[in-house]
Amino acid sequence: MDDVILHEVAHLKHHHHRKSFWKFLSELIGEDAKQQKLAQDIAFSKYWGFYTFLMK
């Protein structure tokens, strides 16, 4: 939930999802925000089981 709030806070400064937005968001959360979003997208997708199986 904190990441969602920080994502929206980052939009107060950057009204887009370009590189500068992801860099700023990464600074706010203290890790690579783009990688974190990708991981969350995969985790909530219907392919999560396939992903975890293939990544073993």
Is the full-model pTM beyond 0.85? no
Distance CA 16, CA 2 (A): 19
Cα of first residue to Cα of last residue in the chain, in angstroms, is: 28
Per-residue pLDDT of the chain (56 residues; tens, 9 = 90+): 677 888 899 999 999 989 899 899 988 888 888 787 777 777 777 777 777 788 88
pLDDT at 1 (0 to 100): 64
- The tokens for 38 are 């990708």
